[in-house]
């Protein structure tokens, strides 16, 4: 069982140091998840030890020079949080392949790879559960899966239009949205795009579709099934401008001549983790804590580098 640190600190009956199979220093999200995994074996005695006000020096933590904060039993609380995320014993992660900055298919195996997959696997590992990747080609399908609880977590751009039925963390990655135009276009900067004479193609339900729907006043928005269709429409002359993730647009410009990316950006896409709203505030707090830790400890930066992602940056701490 997991013990309350205060139980032995204040006990008058205890003589000498108590004995435990495991001592976990830190009662945050990671500590709670680890305590849950260890106490799955009822023979394990686990102490979760959290420091309220350090009174020692340096990074040395001892019983004698540390004031202990009361900590509730971790097993039941951690188990409840695990159940909130993985009620079936498996964490279902909704993956959107429509955003290649975060997820792609491996060229050799065809399996999903990317920053969002790395985060999903790490979160499942910390919860002590298996993972199932629920893969979608477009953001709209990925969002709907989490909203309708066909998946337990997802990776989305924060947008007010998605707030109904979802709880978000703070962003872990920032991505720019830009415009692609024909090489011969008279357009030279983003502010010129919103004109009655312009049609803008977008991937339906994408973050930039939602943003432009609110912001564009004069141009016509042409919604198509995915970024590929939006780019093709611009090359075919069906629209004057294609909107999308800047890295994708730059890749298209390099792939074949005849198009160029307008300088600057029209929006910053804040990529975050999300979960069904019905899972509760405690579960949201755990997911938010996980994201902040992954930014702070370099996990997100390392994942971006490992997958060769350029142009995206790690979001600042909340």
Closest alpha carbon to 98 in 221, 172, 205, 174: 205
The pLDDT value given to residue 88: 87
Residue 56's alpha-carbon distances to 6, 53, 64, 300, in angstroms, are 18, 9, 9, 33
N- to C-terminal Cα distance for the chain?
34
The pLDDT value given to residue 58: 43
The pLDDT value given to residue 134: 97
Closest alpha carbon to 151 in 97, 240, 63, 91: 91
Tell how many helices (H) and how many strands (E) occur in the chain: 10, 18
Q: Tell the residue number behind the tokens 């093709």, with chain if given.
A: 232
Contact 176, 271 (CB under 8 A): no
For the chain of 318 residues, list the mean pLDDT of each consecutive stretch of 10: 41 47 62 62 62 43 39 54 90 93 92 97 94 93 95 93 91 95 97 97 91 96 93 97 93 94 94 94 92 96 93 91
Q: How far apart, in whole angstroms, are the C-alpha atoms of residue 177 and residue 198?
A: 18
Distance from CA of residue 14 to its chain's centroid?
Answer: 45
The pLDDT value given to residue 148: 94
The pLDDT value given to residue 39: 62
Q: Taking the model in full, what pTM does it have?
A: 0.68
The pLDDT value given to residue 304: 95
Q: How far apart, in whole angstroms, are the C-alpha atoms of residue 69 and residue 184?
A: 67
Residue 129's alpha-carbon distances to 29, 65, 78, 123, 239, in angstroms, are 15, 36, 13, 9, 47
Q: Tell the residue number behind the tokens 């300088």, with chain if given.
A: 263
Closest alpha carbon to 117 in 311, 299, 315: 299
The pLDDT value given to residue 67: 40
In the chain, which residue ranges form alpha helices assigned H by DSSP? Answer: 5-9, 29-38, 74-85, 115-127, 139-147, 207-215, 227-235, 246-255, 281-296, 299-306
């Amino acid at each position: 069982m997991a013990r309350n640190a205060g139980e032995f600190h204040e006990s008058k009956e205890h003589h000498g140091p108590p004995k435990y199979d495991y001592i976990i220093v830190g009662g945050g999200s990671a500590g709670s998840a680890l305590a849950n995994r260890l106490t799955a074996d009822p023979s394990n005695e686990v102490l979760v030890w959290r420091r309220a006000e350090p009174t020692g020096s340096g990074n040395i933590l001892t019983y004698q020079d540390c004031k202990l904060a009361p900590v509730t039993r971790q097993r039941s609380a951690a188990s409840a949080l695990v159940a909130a995320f993985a009620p079936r014993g498996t964490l279902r992660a909704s993956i959107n392949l429509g955003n290649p900055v975060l997820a792609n298919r491996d060229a050799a195996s065809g399996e999903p790879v990317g920053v969002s997959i790395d985060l999903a696997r790490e979160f499942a590992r910390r919860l002590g559960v298996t993972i199932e990747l629920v893969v979608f080609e477009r953001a709209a399908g990925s969002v709907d899966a989490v909203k309708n609880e066909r998946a337990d977590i997802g990776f989305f751009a924060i947008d007010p239009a998605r707030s109904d039925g979802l709880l978000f963390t703070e962003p872990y990655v920032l991505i720019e949205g830009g415009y692609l135009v024909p090489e011969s276009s008279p357009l030279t900067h983003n502010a010129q795009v919103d004109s009655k004479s312009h049609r803008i193609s977008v991937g339906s339900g994408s973050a930039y579709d939602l943003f432009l729907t609110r912001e564009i006043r004069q141009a016509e928005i042409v919604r198509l099934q995915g970024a590929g269709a939006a780019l093709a429409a611009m090359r075919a002359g069906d629209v004057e401008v294609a909107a999308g993730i800047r890295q994708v647009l730059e890749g298209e410009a390099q792939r074949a001549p005849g198009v160029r990316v307008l300088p600057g950006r029209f929006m910053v896409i804040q990529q975050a983790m999300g979960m069904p709203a019905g899972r509760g505030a405690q579960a949201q707090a755990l997911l938010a804590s996980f994201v902040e830790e992954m930014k702070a400890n370099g996990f997100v930066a390392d994942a971006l580098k490992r997958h060769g992602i350029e142009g995206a940056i790690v979001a600042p701490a909340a």
